[in-house]
Structure 1
Amino acid sequence: MRPPRPNQFIPPSAQRRDNAKRDYNASRPHSSLGHLTPQEFAAKAARKGCS
């Protein structure tokens, strides 16, 4: 899916969906990542030298 152009209207439902998806994927802990958020997991991997 292409990102919208800056002047393109985005329906409120799409904004809510995108915000919920962003929240789920970025700031909520995931059991598959050892109950860390993706950001915490990436920081931990970077400290260990994993890429």
Structure 2
Amino acid sequence: MLILDEATSALDATSEYLVRTALNKLLENSRQTVLIIAHRFLLAAG
């Protein structure tokens, strides 16, 4: 299980995009459970 608690809250837009892209690739290639705690809907919906 991967827990992300405000994982991108202190990142600029470019860095946040890179984290979201990497997370999406991880989830496409695995059956891992991910709990995302975020105030920004874009990260949670991604």
Same fold (TM over 0.5): no
Query: Going by fraction, where is helix more abundant, 1 or 2?
Result: 1
The structure with the larger Rg is: 1
Give the TM interval when normalised to the shorter protein. Answer: 0.3 to 0.5
Question: TM-score, normalised on structure 2?
Answer: 0.42
Question: TM-score, normalised on structure 1?
Answer: 0.39
Which one scores higher on RCO, CA 8 angstroms, separation ≥ 6? 2
